[in-house]
Amino acid sequence: MKKRQLGSSELFISEISLGGMSLSTDKKKATGIIDMALDAGINYFDTADLYDFGANEEMIGTILGKRRQDVIVATKVGNRWTEGKEGWHWDASPSYIKEAVRASLKRLGTDYIDVYQLHGGTFEDDWDGIIETFEDLKTDGLIREYGISSIRPNVLKRFLPASSAKSVMMQYSALDRRPEEWLDFIAKEGASVVTRGTVAKGLLTNSWQQRLQHGSGFYTYTTEELTTALTNLTSHYHDLHALAIAFNLKESAIASTVIGASSQEQLAQTLTAYEKIDSITNFTVANELTKAELYIEHR
């Protein structure tokens, strides 16, 4: 498993990362998935305090155990829930971030977080306060680096130049190419992109036909457009899963692509696809068959 530098930081993360959101809540199954990931050379594990209301952090922390020092753990903050109330609300206040980071540390069973990410953000947030808080957490040794999970250009333009953020998590795939406009900007600010949604809810895998039967399109693609695009992509590239990973990793601004797995079988499929990406070097057809759209909102 190759590794790439995360922005201008000293962290080098695996090109494939394991996302925690779809990790099994069964400890035995989750352990099997994480053990397989570690054996494959995956060293970046992405979670959030919101996933399973903190239980995902606890699960990952427990399974990693003594191996924690050998990996890079990323988690997120900002979506706050209150016990006894349904749903959650946005809270990026400095006081809450300071409270939430200690709760995450406890659940993860560690005394530091490698990459602490704001789990969203609006243009109206107190960015000076947020950045100062993250910098204080670095100084205190509670986090090593920080970043943001956001697809809002106006937020990124406000946050990145004013901070020392090293990571931007964005939804990006051959079927959602909106981030391409911003990759150079993010890289110039000393950060890397860590992608989510790489396989587009399974549409960019070799089981896309079954997935398509249970959906009603994807993003701006209709079912008919997807059928045409995916049929032609498969005809040209043969392995759609490998194409999905290669399409993201062709970008130097992207350090890693986070892919979830609810079973060892799913993770094995991703690892098999990853082994084939070096054979895919020409993306002209992929670019021609997909939409190069731009973000319309939050500009």
Which sequence positions are flagged as catalytic? 51
pLDDT at 56 over 80: yes
The pLDDT, as a whole number, for residue 89 is 78
CB distance 79 to 56 below 8 Å: no
pLDDT at 238 over 90: yes
pLDDT category, 78, cuts 50, 70, 90? confident
Q: Which fold has domain 3-289?
A: TIM Barrel (3.20.20)
The pLDDT, as a whole number, for residue 51 is 80
Q: What torsion do the CA atoms of 203, 207, 212, 215 make, to the nearest 10 degrees?
A: -70
Enter the DSSP assignment of 202. G
Which residues face 16 on adjacent strands? 257
The pLDDT, as a whole number, for residue 198 is 96
CB distance 65 to 34 below 8 Å: no
pLDDT category, 90, cuts 50, 70, 90? confident
Which residues face 280 on adjacent strands? none
The pLDDT, as a whole number, for residue 208 is 95
pLDDT at 84 over 80: no
Give me the chain's average pLDDT, please: 95
The pLDDT, as a whole number, for residue 287 is 98
Which residues face 256 on adjacent strands? 194
The pLDDT, as a whole number, for residue 155 is 97
Domain boundaries along the sequence of the chain: 3-289
| b/e sequence 16-25, b meaning 16+ C-beta within 10 Å | bbbbbeebbe
Write out pLDDT tens, residues 191-208. 999 999 999 999 999 999
Confidence (pTM): 0.94
CB distance 8 to 190 below 8 Å: yes
Candidate from 76-90, 242-256, 266-280 with smallest mean pLDDT: 76-90
